[in-house]
């Protein structure tokens, strides 16, 4: 391992030498010495200490992907011949190819490129995927088309364990292909959580095994605009192969209009005076049937999605409908809630969190739940999303001993001049007064791409490369990435890499890439 003195030298190094990897690795020792790579004589391999009886399917698939990324137009065939001139050899400390990445997975890796070979060591298979991505970004072509990689030493690990992107498939339906494409691009920026905001007011595209009417009646279209169980499995598996977790969100008790179409008596009937108005409000928290339904739905969700976390939403609950309903008011009276409807909301959320705990899942909620509820002990992870002094909110949450995911500064559904990527780069999640222990409770951040104005037509250029700015903030060392001007050319080059890999990332400013995106 590199010692502190080297680290110090390195710091200057990084500032002076261009290393075109995005997000920037923690420790890099570059060198001008370069080696030529040829697709015909390049190979990936396992180090002998890896139990080769169990071949690692995640890595085998990654070898194929990255070979085509390294050498566009070529397909990987695992040649064992004497013609191999350059081998990238992988060793893993743990043989964990069968599982799923999770919140505690190490993504640490060490990559050495030297004459005729490269070695990549990681604690887990997920870390080795990060290292492969880095290696792929180190390879470049000269003006004559030959491939090169420079002698390089890299030691790398993420600043934050949770680096997410939220896609909203309720306000507009996103074809599975658009989701998979986003997972590809996420892996290129080393994002590791796909927060799937599956359902909301406008539509319910998740096809439930137990409650098929939810999508039959609540989706935009019961056949073309749904995610079948097979679609969901495909997304989860595709994500896993790239070291990405899939975090499902079933937001309640608000944001549930579409649920009511397929599940009668779930939503609160709103009243005008003494009579029901025909419209419906949030989930009805006063009926036992509500909790039976939610327990049953969440049990299904818990088994379909392997991640140990479930996002329960809990944001923006409108009390006016509850207030209008005489049965709700009677329940409030009976429970001694007075006129404080946030107590009713807390009552509901606590029950849902308990259901989730019984299913051995950890729940994440939007900051509203933390803000309006006095009893906070039952909470685990709070996602901060509101604008304003979001670090004040982060501080309040960690002071209460809860973990935080920060989303406020990364609402990318808001379009803006592309060059304001710096706005998403200059974010300092830990720049609040707090103890080391409190700061360690900030587990990461998330880019939110809400769906009011986004669908498959504009998803990619709206997300990329602006989300990559957030990616570097969440992966890299703050001190080494505090300068926007220095980051700019590296991000421009990364954007060109995204284009070349088929991601429709929009331009940052005037100019061109060697390999432009070919429009259809």
**Would you tell me which residues interact with a copy of itself (CB under 8 A)?**
171-173, 175, 177-178, 181, 202-203, 220-221, 224-225, 414-419, 451-461, 499, 502, 504-512, 514, 516-520
Judged by beta carbon, residue 36 or residue 420, the one nearer a copy of itself is 420
Q: Are strands 403-406 and 442-449 parallel, antiparallel or unpaired?
A: parallel
Compute the distance between CA of residue 109 and CA of residue 28 in angstroms, rounded to an integer. 12
| 214: nearest Cα among 297, 299, 279 | 297
Looking at the Cβ atoms of 88 and 505, the one nearer to a copy of itself is 505
Tally the C-alpha atoms within 13 A of residue 359's C-alpha that lie toward its C-beta: 26
Provide the minimum distance between the beta carbon of 177 and a copy of itself in the complex, in angstroms, as a whole number. Answer: 6
Of 377 and 514, which CB lies nearer to a copy of itself in the complex structure?
514
**Helix, strand, or coil (residue 484):** helix
Which residues neighbour 342 within 8 Å (Cβ) at sequence distance 6 or greater? 319, 372, 373
| Cα dist from 383 to 221, 325, 394, whole Å | 31, 30, 9
Distance in Å, CB of 29 to a copy of itself, minimum: 34
Q: Which of 316, 452, 478, 516 is catalytic?
A: 316
**3 state DSSP class of 190:** coil
Q: Which is nearer to a copy of itself, 27 or 185 (CB)?
A: 185
Q: State in angstroms the smallest separation of the CB of 499 from a copy of itself.
A: 7
Tokens, residue 119: 């070695």
Distances (CA, A) of 331 to 275, 326, 339: 18, 9, 11
CA–CA separation, 482 and 343 (whole Å): 43
Tokens found for residue 5: 């003195």
DSSP states along 388-432? SSHHHHHHHHHHTT-EEEE-GGGBTTS---GGGHHHHHS--TT-S
- Least Å distance between CB 491 and a copy of itself? 14
In DSSP terms, 111 is beta-bridged to 120, 154
CA angle 494, 497, 503 (to 5 degrees): 105
CB of 42 to a copy of itself, least distance (A): 27
CA 481/CA 487 separation, integer angstroms:
7
Q: What minimum distance in Å lies between the beta carbon of 48 and a copy of itself?
A: 41
CB atoms within 10 A of CB 302: 19
Q: Identify whether 472 is a catalytic site residue.
A: no
The nearer residue to a copy of itself, 278 or 520, going by C-beta atoms, is: 520
Residue closer to a copy of itself (CB basis): 226 or 344: 226
Helix (H, G, I), strand (E, B) or coil at 267: strand
Phi/psi at 379 (5° precision): -90, 160
Task: Work out how close the CB of 155 gets to a copy of itself at its nearest, in angstroms, rounded to a whole number.
Answer: 34
Q: Judged by CB, which is closer to a copy of itself: 223, or 339?
A: 223
The residues annotated as belonging to the active site are 316
């Amino acid at each position: 391992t590199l010692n502190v003195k080297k680290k110090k030298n390195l710091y200057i190094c990084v500032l002076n030498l261009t290393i075109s990897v995005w997000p920037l690795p923690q420790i890099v020792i570059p060198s001008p010495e370069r080696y030529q790579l040829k697709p015909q004589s390049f190979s990936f391999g396992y180090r002998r200490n890896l139990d080769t009886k169990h071949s690692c399917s995640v890595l085998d698939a990654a070898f194929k992907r990255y070979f085509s990324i390294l050498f566009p137009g070529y397909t990987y065939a695992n040649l064992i011949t004497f013609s191999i001139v350059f081998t990238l050899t992988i060793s893993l400390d743990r043989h964990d190819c069968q599982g799923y990445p999770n919140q505690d997975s190490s993504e640490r890796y060490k990559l050495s490129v030297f004459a005729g070979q490269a070695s990549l060591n990681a604690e887990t298979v997920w870390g080795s995927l990060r290292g492969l991505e880095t290696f792929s970004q180190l390879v470049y072509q000269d003006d004559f088309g030959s491939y090169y990689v420079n002698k390089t030493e890299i030691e790398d690990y993420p600043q934050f364990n949770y680096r997410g992107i939220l896609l909203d498939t309720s306000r507009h339906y996103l074809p599975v292909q658009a989701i998979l494409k986003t997972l590809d691009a996420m892996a290129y920026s080393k994002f590791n959580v796909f927060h799937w905001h599956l359902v909301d007011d406008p539509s319910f595209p998740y096809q439930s095994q137990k409650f098929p009417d939810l999508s039959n009646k609540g989706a935009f279209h019961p056949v073309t605009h749904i995610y079948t169980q097979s679609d969901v499995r495909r997304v989860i598996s595709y994500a896993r192969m790239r070291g990405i977790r899939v975090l499902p969100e079933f937001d309640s008790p608000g944001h549930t209009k579409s649920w009511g179409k397929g599940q009668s008596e779930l939503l609160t009937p709103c009243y005008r005076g003494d009579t029901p108005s025909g419209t419906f409000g949030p989930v009805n928290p006063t009926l036992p049937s509500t909790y039976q339904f939610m327990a049953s739905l969440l049990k299904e969700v818990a088994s379909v999605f392997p991640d140990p976390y479930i996002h329960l939403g809990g944001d923006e609950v409108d009390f006016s409908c509850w207030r209008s309903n005489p049965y709700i008011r009677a329940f409030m009276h009976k429970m001694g809630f007075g006129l404080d409807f946030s107590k009713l909301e807390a009552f509901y959320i606590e029950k849902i969190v308990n259901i989730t705990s019984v299913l051995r899942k950890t729940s994440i909620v939007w900051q509203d739940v933390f803000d309006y509820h006095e009893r906070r002990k039952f909470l685990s992870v709070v996602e901060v999303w509101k604008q304003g002094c979001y670090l004040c909110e982060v501080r309040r949450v960690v002071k209460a001993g809860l973990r935080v995911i920060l989303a406020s500064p990364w609402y990318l559904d808001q379009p803006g001049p592309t060059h304001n990527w710096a706005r998403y780069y200059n974010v300092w999640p830990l720049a609040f007064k707090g103890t080391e222990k409190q700061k360690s409770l900030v587990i990461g951040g998330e880019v939110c791409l809400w769906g009011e104005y986004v669908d498959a037509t504009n998803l990619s250029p709206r997300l990329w490369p602006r989300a990559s700015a957030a990616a570097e903030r969440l992966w890299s060392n703050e001190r080494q990435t505090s300068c926007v001007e220095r980051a700019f050319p590296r991000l421009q080059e990364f954007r060109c890499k995204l284009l070349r890999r088929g991601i429709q990332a929009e331009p940052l400013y005037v100019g061109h890439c060697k390999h432009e995106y070919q429009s259809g």
